[in-house]
Amino acid sequence: MNTWTRTGLAVVLGSAIGTFISFVNGRDFVSALQAGFGFALIVGFIVAFLSCGMDIALDKGYPGWFGFLLVLCLNIFGLMILALLPTHTPTTNPPATS
């Protein structure tokens, strides 16, 4: 799943969940739609941010959870760290001889 797919699904689900919760809590339908849209934008932004960190880490050869964790814990600084990290290339070292 790429970043745009994750973000789109987050916006759609966030909108549906936010509208439903707002409507259940006593708002009329129009204001529930407005609140659901605002909630969907916030959720979509957060998911896009985390997904972008995962994609950057995968592009550089690191595991996706590493990028997710850096962005989750350090936010903008985590993305800057990911951008500055060198590309990870696995090397095979010969066995040590004594």
Segment 38-75, tens digit of pLDDT: 999 999 999 999 999 999 888 888 888 898 999 888 88
Contact residues for 14 (Cβ-Cβ < 8 A; gap 6+): 36, 39, 40, 41, 42, 43, 44
User: Is the CB of residue 21 less than 8 Å from the CB of residue 29?
Assistant: no
Q: Across residues 12-25, what is the average pLDDT?
A: 94
> 97 in a domain, yes or no?
no
Residue entry with tokens 């590309």: 87
Which of the two residues, 97 and 70, has the higher pLDDT score?
70
> 95 in a domain, yes or no?
no
> 94 in a domain, yes or no?
no
Task: Give the structural domain span for 40.
Answer: 3-84
Give the pLDDT confidence score for residue 34 in this predicted structure: 94
> 38 in a domain, yes or no?
yes
> How many domains does the chain fold into?
1
Residue entry with tokens 């050869």: 61
> 90 in a domain, yes or no?
no
Which of the two residues, 82 and 31, has the higher pLDDT score?
31
> 92 in a domain, yes or no?
no
Instruction: State how far the Cα of 20 lies from the Cα of 60, in Å rounded to an integer.
Output: 40
As a whole-number percent, the residues of the chain with pLDDT over 70 amount to 97
Whether 88 has a pLDDT exceeding 90, the answer reads no
> 27 in a domain, yes or no?
yes
